[in-house]
C-alpha cells in the first residue's frame, strides 16, 4: 500500500481522487456495456447475476490499473506509450473476467466482458487525455500574461524534445507557440500541437506578430557558420536566445533537474565535427576502475572527469591543489549522478611526494590522467624556477609514485608549445614527454603523452579574454595581426585524451589532429560580429605586441618527427616517432636542472633547459634577462 499511497500529502490525495474516479468510470463502463449488449432490456435473472459479480469485476479492473502503474504516471506528459499501456491493462482485465466466467460457469455472454473492457479504455483514457488537453488549452490562453512566449527553431526530433521540455518546466521556461524550419514540407504542419509558421528568415516577422520573448535553437549538432546565421537573425530581434543542450537520447523525455537549455556561447559556432569514440574500448579500461586525475579541478582536467564518469568507474579521484574548483566539480557530478556518485576530492600538490604516496597507498588507482601543470606562458617566463619545480619535478614525483604503487596506465597531457619551444613552459612540457618515454622503457607501467594545441574556453585562453573585453565595450587586445593558433573545444580534447589512453601504445607521444590553424584576428572579428557589433566601427582591435615567450605560430611536430609520424586506429590521433635519449645523461641533466631551480637562478634554469631540450630557443627578452 505504501507504494501506491506514499509520497507527499498532495500526491496521496491526487492518487486517491484518481482511484475513486476510476471506480465510478468502471461502474459506468459496466452499465454502458449492459445497455449496448441487451439494447436496454436485460432480464431480471441476468441483472441479478451481474449485480452479484459487479464488486469482483470492479476490483479486477481497479487492481489491474494499480499494478500496471496507472497511478504513478504523469498524465499531463502522456503520449502514445501511456495510451498503449492503458489499452493493455484494460484488455488484460477483460481477459481475466472472461476466464472467470468460463471457469466458474457464470453463464454470462462473452461479448459483455469485451464491451466492459472497451468502454473502460475509452472512459479512463478519455478522462486522462481530456484533462491533459483542457489543461494545455487553459495554460495557452494564460500564456500571454504569465509566461514567456517561445519560438523554437527546428521542427525535428530536437524541436519535439524542446517543446516537451518547455511544457514540463513551463514556469521556468515558458510556452512554445510556434516553430520555424527550413524544410518547406513542414510549413503549415503542427508539431506537438504547435504550428510551423515559416523558415529562419521569417523569424523577425514571427517574433513581432506572436509577441515572442525567447528563441530556442533546437537543431542537434548544429555548428559553425549555419549556427552563426541563425543566432545573428535571432539576436536582431532582441529576444533571449538559447540552444538545446545535447539531450543524449532524443527519443526520451526530458529528465527533471537536467539543464535542457543553455545560453549560446562562442564555442558553439567555432566547434568542429563531433569526435567518434570507440566506446567499448574506453569502457574496457575505465569501467570499474579507480581513476586518478591530477589537476582535476582545472578546465581540461574537470572535463576529463566528466567524460570518465560516463564509463562507470569504481572511484574517481579528483586531485588538485585548488579546493574551490575541485569542490564545485564534485558538487556538479553529485547533482548529475546522485549522492552516491563514486567521486572523491583530494587536495594536494604533485610537488609533494609524500602526499602522492599517501594517495596511491590509500586508494590504489590503476589509471592516472596527469593534467596538473603551470600553463600560462608569460607568467612562467617570469617564474622559471617554479615552472620547472612543478611541471618537471612534480611530474617526476607522480611518475615515480605511480610506478612504485602498481599503476597500470598513465596518460600525460602535453602541448604543442613543447615543439621547438621558445618559452619555459613549452620546454618543461617537452621534458615531461621525455620523462614519459623514459618510464615507459624502464618500468612496468604503460606511459603515454597526448600533445594538442589551444583549448577553447580554458582558463587564461584567448576566448574568455575577448569575451570579457567585449562585455566592457572593447577594445579587444591582440598581440600580433598575423598570429595563429590551433584550437579545439574542451570536450573534444578530453574525449580524445580518453581515446588515446585506450590505444595504450607504451611510450607513445600521441598528436591530435587539430585541423587548420586559426588566425586570431579573424577569431576576434567573428566574436565581435557574434555579439552584434561591427569590427573597426563599433569595437576596435588594438595590437599590443608579442609577449615574452610567445610564438607567432605553433607546431605540432618537431622536424625530426615529421617523417616518422604514423596513424592509429583513430583518424584524429597520430603517433610521433620516439626520440631516444641516454637515460644516464638525462638523469644527470635533471639533477643539474633541479639544483638550478632550487637556487632560483633564471639564467641558469634557462641554460639547463636548453641543455636538455636542444630545440628550445629562448625568447629574445628571456635571453636578455639571462
Name every residue whose Cβ is closer than 8 Å to that of residue 547 and which is 6 or more positions away in sequence.
Answer: 377, 378, 479
Let me know: does 295 contact 371? Beta carbons within 8 Å.
Answer: yes
The DSSP element (H or E) to which 487 belongs, if any, is: strand 487-489
Q: At CA 447, angle to CA 441 and CA 453, rounded to 5?
A: 125
Cα distances (Å, whole numbers) of residue 251 to 25, 70, 97, 170, 600 = 33, 22, 36, 20, 60
What secondary structure, in 3-state letters, does 208-228 show?
Answer: HHHCCCEEEECCCCCCHHHHH
Calpha distance 306→392 (Å, rounded):
27
CA dist 102 and 509 (Å) reads 76
Taking the C-alpha atoms of residue 560 and residue 429, their distance in angstroms, rounded to an integer, is 18
Residues 6+ apart with CB under 8 A from 43: none
Q: CA-to-CA distance for 58 and 37, rounded, in angstroms?
A: 18
Q: What is the largest CA-CA distance in the chain?
A: 114
For residue 339, the 8-state DSSP code is: T
Contact 433, 418 (CB under 8 A): yes
Residues forming beta bridges with residue 262, ordered by sequence position: 243
Closest CA to 512 of 456, 437, 452: 452
**Known catalytic membership, residue 186:** no
Would you say 453 and 554 are in contact if contact means Cβ atoms under 8 Å apart?
yes
For the stretch 428-461, what's the b/e string if a residue is b when 16 or more beta carbons lie within 10 angstroms of its beta carbon? Answer: bbbbbbbbbbbbbeebebbbbbbbbbbbbbbeeb
Render 306-332 in DSSP notation, one character per residue: HHHHTT--SEEEEEES-HHHHHHHHHH
- Bond preceding residue 373 cis, omega within 30 of 0: no
Name the active-site residue from 417, 429, 551, 572: 417
- For 451, 510, 624, the CA distances from 421, given in Å and listed in that order, are 13, 18, 17
Q: What is the DSSP letter of 394?
A: I
Residue 196, helix vs strand vs coil:
strand
State the catalytic residues: 417
Amino acid at each position: 500500500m505504501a507504494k501506491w499511497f506514499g509520497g507527499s500529502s498532495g500526491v496521496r490525495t491526487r492518487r486517491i481522487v484518481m482511484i475513486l474516479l476510476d471506480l465510478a468510470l468502471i461502474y459506468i463502463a459496466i452499465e454502458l456495456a449492459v445497455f449496448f449488449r441487451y439494447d436496454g432490456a436485460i432480464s431480471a435473472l441476468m441483472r441479478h447475476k451481474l449485480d452479484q459479480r459487479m464488486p469482483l469485476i470492479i476490483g479486477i479492473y481497479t487492481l489491474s490499473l494499480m499494478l500496471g502503474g496507472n497511478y504513478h504516471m504523469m498524465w499531463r506528459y502522456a503520449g502514445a506509450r501511456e495510451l498503449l499501456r492503458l489499452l493493455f491493462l484494460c484488455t488484460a482485465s477483460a481477459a481475466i473476467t472472461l476466464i472467470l466466467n468460463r471457469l466458474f460457469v457464470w453463464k454470462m455472454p462473452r461479448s459483455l466482458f469485451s464491451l466492459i473492457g472497451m468502454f473502460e479504455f475509452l472512459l479512463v483514457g478519455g478522462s486522462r487525455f481530456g484533462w491533459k488537453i483542457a489543461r494545455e488549452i487553459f495554460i495557452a490562453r494564460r500564456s500571454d500574461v504569465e509566461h514567456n512566449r517561445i519560438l523554437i527553431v527546428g521542427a525535428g526530433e530536437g524541436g519535439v524534445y524542446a517543446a516537451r521540455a518547455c511544457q514540463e518546466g513551463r514556469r521556468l521556461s515558458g510556452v512554445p507557440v510556434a516553430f520555424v524550419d527550413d524544410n518547406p514540407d513542414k510549413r503549415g504542419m503542427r508539431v506537438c500541437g504547435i504550428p510551423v509558421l515559416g523558415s529562419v528568415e521569417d523569424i523577425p516577422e514571427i517574433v513581432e506578430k506572436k509577441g515572442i520573448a525567447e528563441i530556442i535553437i533546437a537543431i542537434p549538432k548544429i555548428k559553425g557558420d549555419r549556427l552563426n546565421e541563425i543566432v545573428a537573425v535571432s539576436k536582431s530581434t532582441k529576444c533571449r536566445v538559447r540552444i538545446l543542450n545535447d539531450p543524449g537520447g532524443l527519443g526520451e523525455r526530458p529528465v527533471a533537474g537536467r539543464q535542457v537549455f543553455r545560453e549560446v556561447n562562442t564555442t558553439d559556432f567555432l566547434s568542429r565535427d563531433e569526435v567518434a569514440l570507440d566506446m567499448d574500448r574506453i569502457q574496457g579500461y575505465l569501467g570499474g576502475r579507480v581513476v586518478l586525475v591530477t589537476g582535476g579541478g582545472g578546465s581540461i582536467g574537470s572535463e576529463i572527469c566528466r567524460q570518465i564518469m560516463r564509463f562507470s568507474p569504481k572511484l574517481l579521484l579528483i586531485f588538485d591543489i585548488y579546493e574551490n574548483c575541485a569542490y564545485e566539480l564534485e558538487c556538479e557530478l553529485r547533482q548529475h549522478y546522485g549522492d552516491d556518485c563514486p567521486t572523491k576530492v583530494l587536495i594536494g600538490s604533485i610537488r609533494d611526494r609524500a602526499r602522492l604516496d599517501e594517495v596511491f597507498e590509500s586508494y590504489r588507482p590503476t589509471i592516472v590522467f596527469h593534467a596538473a601543470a603551470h600553463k600560462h606562458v608569460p607568467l612562467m617566463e617570469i617564474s622559471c624556477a617554479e615552472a620547472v619545480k612543478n611541471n618537471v619535478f612534480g611530474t617526476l614525483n607522480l611518475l615515480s609514485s605511480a610506478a612504485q604503487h602498481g599503476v597500470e596506465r598513465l596518460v600525460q597531457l602535453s602541448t604543442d608549445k613543447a615543439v621547438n619551444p621558445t618559452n619555459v613552459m613549452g620546454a618543461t612540457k617537452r621534458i615531461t614527454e621525455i620523462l614519459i618515454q623514459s618510464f615507459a622503457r624502464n618500468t612496468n607501467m604503460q606511459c603515454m603523452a597526448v600533445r594538442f594545441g589551444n583549448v577553447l574556453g580554458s582558463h587564461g585562453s584567448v576566448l574568455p579574454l575577448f569575451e570579457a573585453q567585449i562585455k566592457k565595450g572593447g577594445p579587444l587586445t591582440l598581440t600580433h595581426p598575423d598570429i595563429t593558433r590551433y584550437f579545439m573545444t574542451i570536450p573534444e580534447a578530453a574525449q580524445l585524451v580518453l581515446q588515446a589512453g585506450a590505444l595504450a601504445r607504451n611510450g607513445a607521444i600521441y598528436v591530435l589532429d587539430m585541423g587548420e590553424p586559426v588566425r586570431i584576428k579573424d577569431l576576434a572579428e567573428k566574436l565581435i560580429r557574434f555579439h552584434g557589433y561591427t569590427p573597426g566601427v563599433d569595437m576596435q582591435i588594438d595590437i599590443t605586441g608579442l609577449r615574452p615567450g610567445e610564438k607567432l605560430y605553433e607546431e605540432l611536430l618537431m622536424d625530426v618527427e615529421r617523417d616518422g609520424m604514423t596513424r592509429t586506429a583513430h583518424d584524429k590521433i597520430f603517433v610521433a616517432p620516439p626520440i631516444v635519449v641516454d637515460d644516464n645523461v638525462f638523469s644527470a641533466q635533471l639533477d643539474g636542472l633541479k639544483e638550478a631551480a632550487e637556487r632560483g637562478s633564471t639564467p641558469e634554469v634557462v641554460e639547463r633547459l636548453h641543455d636538455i631540450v636542444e630545440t628550445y630557443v629562448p625568447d629574445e627578452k628571456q635571453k636578455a634577462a639571462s
